[in-house]
Structure 1
């Protein structure tokens, strides 16, 4: 019995001792002053308002602050700066205090499978911190590269007809006494002039389709009428090669877009089919609708396109056979224009082709549901009726205000209308 009581007392004393130890530890910890990293006053608010990715590192390049964009760009992982390039910049700023502005292309992703172009500004922040600001310039750099490539391609493409025209002009001048030579070279001069004019026109059209906002400026368009007219416009060159253009099917609903741009896109496809088809063949145009999608297929019986060329066929100035394209008058911009127009209309264009069996271009565009609010789009009958009703109501309101308005007195003090209400 005594042993049992002694055990209980010992257990109680142990519990009390453990509790006293824990209380003592908490009191000691509360008395320790831990220096948390602190930012200069107002710095956090300023950084949040910049709209840029930012990283703040301490004297050993540990990450003190970083916003979500810095993590999304792959510049920071955990509390560590990922890229050695950034650490080299912080070391330079820490050494001499001079702000650095540089642009880098840095790997992105867990294995660096992608890249990001960032403009970095590295500057001292207070006495112990370094600030890294990062502006994502990836899309800007891509657009700039495309623009430079486009300018280079345009310059190259323009050189050929301009050079040919200059050379042919000199040749004609030198052969002024040879009527046959003048006739022959004049015909070639006309051909190069037409090619130059077509190239310039395609460049203008490409610029125009890239700049127009179809969503806000489009109207309901009947593709049946567009395809019928596009086919009619291509019949003359088709008849010169005895090529039949056959149009079949119909579309029950309209699409929202720009009729002129769609006309240009479909005519480019039909002209291409005629241009690269042998004589005595047929070009088929099929129209169908399914699940709210208008589908247009343009099929030829031409030479076809190799598989390795199909992925690049919509690139600017890309030609499967440059010599043949120049001979047939192609500029290399037609399919690029088609892709831009269809993309601007929320659609897609695809290609099936097999060498020796021809090609089929398929265009898919979203149709308007004319039982819904789509009839309220600009240019639709309902929109025009509502606009006219609004105009009449506004005019009636204005007339009513005018009839009840008190005329202003003239300089003599009499009423300008000879009286008041």
Structure 2
């Protein structure tokens, strides 16, 4: 029995030694293997399902897992966090051991002069010295908020101008009540400011309507000929007063799906813009043409033209290349912005071609809609009691 006991004890001792030596390497392998793979498969699938930008960093700051957007945003380069502000936030969380939320303004690229993006970051410490970074791009939302604030500020300024002018003119008119010539002059100025105020309020209403999510819920088949004719009729008196010839032509019988009133407003705004920038005895033309699966409504003037630097901004709200001329002609700076919104809401776009001294061409491009064909007389059912004609 003793030999068997001795062998058993020796075997147990060897087993203890083996278990004491080899599990160290096994445990090391158990740690190294997941680290080399980044994170577990389930964790990778979970992170991949998130819409946010996600980073998982190891204890040395190397990237274990990163969503594709992290590379497109420039957050990760060569397996490391590329932006100093993000690295500093990660190290602060690593040192304190507490999650942190921070909104950071980050550069869009490594080059000087690159734009900025606004990121909302949440950095969370994990086990084993790893760090989870979750980010959401709020750049568009912040830009929208800024546009809204600018819009309110611009509206306030634009409304104050004619209102203040009317108040001043009324006071001056009261003081000059005994002077018929002054009364007529100030009355004419008040009418001009009143028209400007009315136009501004109406265009603000139109622009607000276009920004509603259900602006085109009830789209209908729209006859482009009727739209152009109505828009031309609305500006014909203005054209005659400025002694400008207004010509309408092009391919008839074209249709689009949308809102006839909005399309008429867009074409009328293009005509208003052309008339304001045309000299007396000039000519403004409206042409309609089919271009494949699109309808092109072009308004051509023979005015002073637009400089290339200004063409990129003419569709912005309240932008006026020549404020003095706009004030003299009654422009509000919203007409072309409304055209752009109408085109976008109808699935189209607004184009401009212009050359200083050679006039301008503004084109409203819309998807064409082929109206349903009506049945021919030979295929219609006969009316009861009426024989079919041979």
Into which bin does the TM-score normalised by the smaller protein fall? 0.7 to 0.9
Quote the Cα distance in structure 2 between the aligned partners of 1:165 and 1:313: 28
Could you say if the C-alpha distance between residues 59 and 336 of structure 1 is closer, same or farther in structure 2, counting changes exceeding 3 Å? Answer: same
1:69 to 1:275, Cα distance in 2 relative to 1, 3 A: closer
Report whether the alignment pairs 1:281 with 2:282: yes
Inter-CA distance 33–381: structure 2 relative to 1 (3 Å threshold): farther
The residue matched to 1:211 in structure 2 has which SS?
Answer: coil
Structure label with greater radius of gyration: 1
Where does 1:22-61 land on structure 2 (aligned, <5 Å)?
33-34=28-29, 35-36=31-32, 37=34, 47=47, 50-61=50-61
Structure 2 residues without counterparts, runs of 5 or longer: 1-21, 376-390
User: 1:215 Cα shift?
Assistant: 6.5
Partners of 1:252 and 1:289 within 8 A in 2: no
Aligned-residue Cα RMSD (Å) equals 3.0
Tell me if structure 2 keeps the 8 A contact 1:219–1:258. yes
Q: 2:224 is matched with which residue?
A: 223
Deviation at 1:273, TM superposition (A): 1.6
Query: How far has the Cα of 1:125 moved from its partner?
Result: 2.6
Aligned pairs for 1:142-157 (under 5 A) are 142-157=143-158
Q: In the alignment, which residue of structure 1 is the partner of 2:295?
A: 294
Equivalent residue, structure 2, for 1:204: 205
Q: Match of 2:69?
A: 69
Instruction: Give SS of 2:161's match.
Output: helix
Match of 2:244 in 1: 243
TM-score norm. by structure 1 comes to 0.74
Q: Distance in 2 between matches of 1:355 and 1:66?
A: 51
CA gap of 1:111–1:28, structure 2 versus 1, over 3 A, is farther
The question of whether the paired residues in 1 share the 8 Å contact of 2:305 and 2:354 is answered with yes
Q: Secondary structure of the equivalent of 1:368? A: coil
Aligned to 1:416: none
TM-score (structure 2 length as normaliser): 0.79
Q: Per-residue displacement from partner, 1:243-273 (whole Å, max 9, x unpaired)? A: 2211112234311111111000001111222
Does the CA-based 8 Å contact 2:247-2:284 persist in structure 1? yes
Instruction: State the distance in 1 between where 2:216 and 2:174 align.
Output: 53
Contact 2:207/2:338, CA 8 A, preserved across alignment: yes
Gaps of 5+ in 1: 1-26, 383-421
SS, match of residue 312 in structure 1: coil
The number of aligned residues is 348
Alpha-carbon shift at residue 84 of structure 1 (Å) = 1.4
Q: 1:251 to 1:105 in 2, by over 3 A?
A: farther
